[in-house]
């Protein structure tokens, strides 16, 4: 739990960098993990909004830029 307490004290931009690292690390071997049902449901809802023209699409680079700007 000491690690979690250390992370809580970090500035938001450093927390975001840690999240990015963890996501990339976990994504390297996606055969070991099955997505939970709630995640499948969230993806289905997003796809439905996309089909209905209710979802804005941006690429990963732009998404990261926007997130970093939010947490500066």
Domain boundary assignment for the chain: 2-26+36-70
pLDDT of 28 reads: 80
pLDDT of 49 reads: 95
pLDDT of 58 reads: 92
Give the up-direction half-sphere exposure of residue 9: CA atoms within 13 A in the CB hemisphere.
6
Residue whose C-alpha is closest to residue 65's, from 3, 16, 25:
16
Please report, in tens digits, the pLDDT of each residue of the chain (72 residues total): 799 999 999 999 999 999 999 988 888 876 677 889 999 999 999 999 999 999 989 999 999 999 999 988
Is 44 within 8 Å of 38 (Cβ atoms)?
Answer: no
pLDDT of 30 reads: 62
pLDDT of 21 reads: 93
User: Of all helices (H) and strands (E), which one includes residue 25?
Assistant: helix 12-27
């Amino acid at each position: 739990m000491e690690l979690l307490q250390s992370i809580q004290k970090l500035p938001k931009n450093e927390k975001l960098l840690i999240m990015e690292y963890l996501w990339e690390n976990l994504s390297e071997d996606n055969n070991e993990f099955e997505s939970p049902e709630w995640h499948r449901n969230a993806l289905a809802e997003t796809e439905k909004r996309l089909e209905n023209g209710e979802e804005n699409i941006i690429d990963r680079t732009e998404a990261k830029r926007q997130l970093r700007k939010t947490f500066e």
